[in-house]
Amino acid sequence: MSAAAPALRELPARGLASTDHKRIAINLGAVAFVFFVAGGVLALIMRAQLAADGGVVSENVYNQLFTMHGSTMVYLVVVPMALAAGLYLVPLQVGAAAVAAPRLALAGLWLLVSGGVTMWCGFLTSGGAAQASWWGFDPLSDLPHSPGSGMDLWLYGVVLVTVAQMLWAGCILGTVVRRRAPGMTLLRMPVFTWTMVVTCLMVLFAFPALLVALCLLWAQRHGGGVLAGNQGAVAYQQLFWFYAHPVVYVMFFPFLGMAAEVVATFSRRRFFGYPAFVVALLAFSGMSMTVWGHHMFTFGQVTNKYFSLTSTALVVPAGIEYFDFLGTLWRGAVRFTTPLLFALAFLVQFLVGGLTGVILASPPLDYGLNMSYFVVAHFHYTIFAGSAFALFAGIYFWFPKVTGAMLREGLGRVHFVLMVIGTNLTFFPMFILGADGMTRRIAVYPPGRGWQPLNELETAGAGLIALATMVFLVNVGISLRRRRPAGDDPWEGQTLEWATSSPPPRLNFATLPPIRSFAPLLDLREAAPAPPGLADGS
Amino acid sequence: MRRAALVFAVWGVWLGVWTAAQLLFLHATLPEQTIQWVMLGGASAAALLTGAAVGRAGPRHEGAAQLITNESVASATVAVGLAILLVGTSFGAFLLMIGGGVTLLGVTGVLREERARRRLGRRRTR
């Protein structure tokens, strides 16, 4: 199909200015991974500080570390990784030859690079990097409280990165709307593509609130009077959280979609309850736009009843989605490969994050736990123990498609075990510390509270995560140097990306199979005549 | 195209429902908390408007490739130029000038790419 319409120049699309959606996504993933390592190093320094209960860095530097760690991971790593997966996979899954508006996607890549470098340049300024946390709350972030240019650089960086994310979301949504292959109706789109659709809806309709908040903050810093007084501070928080709660789901849905594809493929079954899953996704994403006020329960400035209701109601669509996962695994011919192990760990660990979220959705409980390490534990169980595990499931699953080479299964399992132990050692004790009253963002905690042993345990866990990441990098290095060819479809995949070569050509497909459901390759396998030995019953 | 518009419409209506639910809770303190329902209602309206725009757009390309350049240094240049321009608003006129220049260079490049694309498209249709 697409071979009949070649690109302008038949040169291999390489390099940093390629308009090939696959190359843009790979570059984007690589940039995000570099920032992941950088943000991880900041986390390790923080953990060293807390294990020793002070003495590693000053309180001033500690403030910079947690601000830049959070900002890096949210703005430069997880959201870009999620959208990079969409940029790579959505055109392939809907049978398109290219992403819509590829130049905008490319511009987004360079906005991300520029934004990230701008943000990190804060460390080079005399006052250091931003210190007002990844929220950048006013008045902590205004000129009297955050003098120097580090805060300005943070602000510009976040603006650039947010614009980039909106561009990618537009490109992905545009591809779904305008570039689907013949036969690819909305209810034949794969589960991962649907998760990207709702993700992009949230990016496009929630992220502008952050741009407004940052413009007001800039005006406040450079002229003053815009976010004045208590009302100004609350207005900033309203705008910020209107962005920042949906962003949690932007960092969740794509990874949920990855886990769904992995679970269906390795259960050798069609994804169970597909229509209910799609409806639940649409309901879930819409409701996730309505819960931002639960971050402000203790302020007395929002309608707690409403936000408690919406936050608790999220368990309904989430429950449907979990039920669909279990239904897919139930009676499936399950193959416990590395991608499936990571996907299963995602389901279990995210459940911990989700259920502790229900606790925080109750205002009386939140009054006691707000600003404590309990919240840090909850957040990291959703984003790291949850989404990062699903991301690794996705990487192990699609690496053969992207590179044409298989990752080593043995090293993958070592990576998995280290990650599970490291993650739970790092983040589970935070629940206990938080319930015991340890507040977040403190460089030194009071002696005599008995918090040091658990903090030491967490630091050991963080070390294991770093070790696991090194094992993963070694695996990638070995697998690329001593290649074990993957073939087009090493896992018996169900969606269209497995119908093309590995890696896919510039315009994705030479021919497309007929599309009669959301699992067209499974349809083909099921329609194929059984092997002779089975057909005659022998 | 119309079906894709439905996704936006359904989502926009769903946000509208939750905006209405919020108004029920807000009735006693409406003036102080206007921002709450304006943000959610605004997102709902924006989704509905986008749905209307998608519904009015032409037929979809159905996976067919369009003529595109394999590489676009100009697009990357525009992005970097805009970033320099933005940072320049706080860090001096010299950065503004550099950023402006780089952006202009990039925009010129994009226009050239676009002209070449159209020229080739016309040649193909002949």
Residue-level pLDDT at A223: 86
pLDDT for the residue numbered A536: 47
CA dist A340 and A392 (Å) reads: 10
CB-based contact B72 A19, cutoff 8 Å: yes
Nearest chain B residue to A208 by CA distance is: B43
A343: Cβ contacts below 8 Å, ≥ 6 apart: A258, A259, A262, A263, A266, A389, A390, A393
B109 to chain A, minimum CA–CA distance in Å? Answer: 12
CA distance A412 to A397: 11
Q: Do B25 and A306 touch (CB under 8 A)?
A: yes
d(CA B104, CA A174): 27
Q: Who has greater pLDDT, A299 or A498? A: A498
Chain A: give the shortest CA distance to residue B120, in Å. 8
Q: What are the chain A neighbours of B3 within 8 Å (beta carbons)? A: 185-186
Which residues from B are below 8 Å from A284, CB to CB?
none
Sorted by where each begins, the domain ranges of chain B are 2-56, 73-125
Mean pLDDT of chain A: 93
Q: Does the CB of B86 have a partner CB in chain A at under 8 Å?
A: yes
| Contact status of B90 with chain A (Cβ, < 8 Å) | yes
pLDDT band at A171, cuts 50/70/90? very high
Q: How many CA atoms lie within 13 A of A21 on its CB side?
A: 27
Which of these ranges, A209-218, A297-306, B12-21, has the smallest mean pLDDT? A297-306
Q: B85 and chain A: CB distance < 8 Å anywhere?
A: no
Q: Determine if the peptide bond prior to A503 is cis (ω within 30°).
A: yes
B28/A contact by beta carbon, under 8 A:
no
pLDDT band at A482 (very low <50, low <70, confident <90, very high): very high
Residue B116 sits at the chain A interface (C-beta within 8 Å): yes
* CATH code for the structural domain at A18-526: 1.20.210.10
Query: Cβ separation of A186 and B7 shorter than 8 Å?
Result: yes
| CA neighbor of A251 nearest in space, from A320, A307, A202, A309 | A202
Higher pLDDT, B50 or B121: B50
Task: For residue A5, list chain B residues with Cβ-Cβ distance below 8 A.
Answer: 64-67
Segment A60-101, tens digit of pLDDT: 999 999 999 999 999 999 999 999 999 999 999 999 999 999
Cβ–Cβ below 8 Å for A111 and B83 = yes
Domain-wise residue ranges, chain A: 18-526
Write down the pLDDT at residue A435: 95
Q: What whole-number distance in Å separates Cα of residue A422 and Cα of residue A419?
A: 5
- Across the range A369-380, mean pLDDT stands at 95
Check residue A6 and give its pLDDT. Answer: 41
- Whether A140 shows a pLDDT value over 70: the answer reads yes
Closest to A291 measured CA to CA, from A317, A278, A309, A277: A309
Q: What is the pLDDT of residues B56-110, one digit of tens each?
A: 887 766 544 566 778 899 999 999 999 999 999 988 899 999 999 999 999 999 9
ipTM of the complex: 0.93
Percent of chain A with pLDDT over 90: 88
